[in-house]
Structures are given as structure tokens and as C-alpha cells.
Amino acid sequence: MAQEDTSSTDQRSPGAMLRAARESAGMSVEQVADRLHLLQSVVNSLEKDCYDRIRGETFVRGYLRNYARLLGIDADEVLSRLRVTSPAGKTEKRASVAKRDRWRGASGAGRVGMVLALLAVSALFLFQNREPQAAVREPGTAAVTVDTASGPQVVPLLAPPRAAP
């Protein structure tokens, strides 16, 4: 009869294995979630083997590994059961890689468009906030007041000599 129990435990999913270990340790889902710094819904999803609610296969493996370590069970055994119960993980991974590559392929034109839009907005901002230039005055009409020992004196400014064409 002991062999029947071990054969039934060998058939358990990672979630069932973790749930049984948690219950035998006398821990609640809330306590596990608190210790692992996860939401209770994530712990429940792990125990129910609903990995589609958790973002990414890498996160699922990491959460299962940490959960197993917390309960003191072999993490490698839990992860090997994950591979046995969900062989579709590789196809999911390929689909996400194809989706990512498709996004990268289209992003070249998007990047150019974004750069052009930023340049246009920058140019608009610069021209909107530009102060009008002072009108060019005739030579000799501009003057500067200079304080001297004999009092303030007005000194006319001379235009620089023009270059011959």
C-alpha cells in the first residue's frame, strides 16, 4: 500500500505537490504569499497549475522554485514535474519570440517617425519662445553712458567697418 501512495505522489502536478506540502507545514496561502512577497492570487494560481495568469515562463519557474525552498521540498523535482505537465511551454516561448521579432522589425520606421516628431516639436518650441531681434540701428545712433571722473558722458557707438566686396 505504501507503494501505491508513492506512485500516486509521483503523478501529482507541481501545484498539488506544493499545496500538500504547505498544508502539512500548517501554513496558509496568506502566510506563503507574505513570505514570498507575492500576491495571494499568484500563490493560488501556482497551486492550481494555472500558469497562464502569471506573466512569463521564467517567472513561473522562479516562483515554483522559491515556493519549494520555503516549504523545504526539492525544487528540482517540482520543476521537473512542471516540464512533464506542461510540454507546451516551448511553443508558447516560440510564439512570444516571433511576436517580439515582428515588433522589432516594424519599429525601425517607428523610431524614425518618433525622431522626426521630436525634432518638429523641438523646432516649434524654439521658434515660439524666441525673442524678436532688436532692429538694426544706423551707425552713430546707438550710444553708451560711461561714468568718468568728470561725470557721466555719452559715447556714440561706431559700426564696425564693412568689408569691401
Q: Tell me the C-alpha distance between 122 and 128, whole Å.
A: 10
CA quadruple 41, 46, 49, 51: dihedral sign? positive
Among 10-19, 39-48, 63-72, 90-99, which stretch is predicted with the lowest mean pLDDT? 90-99
Q: Where are the domains of the chain?
A: 7-89
Q: What is the pLDDT of residues 82-114, one digit of tens each?
A: 877 665 544 445 455 555 555 555 567 778 888
pLDDT by residue (tens digit) across 21-44? 999 999 999 999 999 999 999 999
* Higher per-residue confidence, 76 vs 3: 76
CATH topology of domain 7-89: 434 Repressor (Amino-terminal Domain) (1.10.260)
pLDDT given at position 129: 74
Q: Model's pTM, two decimal places?
A: 0.48
Strands (E), the chain: 143-148, 151-156
CA distance 53 to 42: 8
> Mean of the pLDDT values across residues 58-77?
90
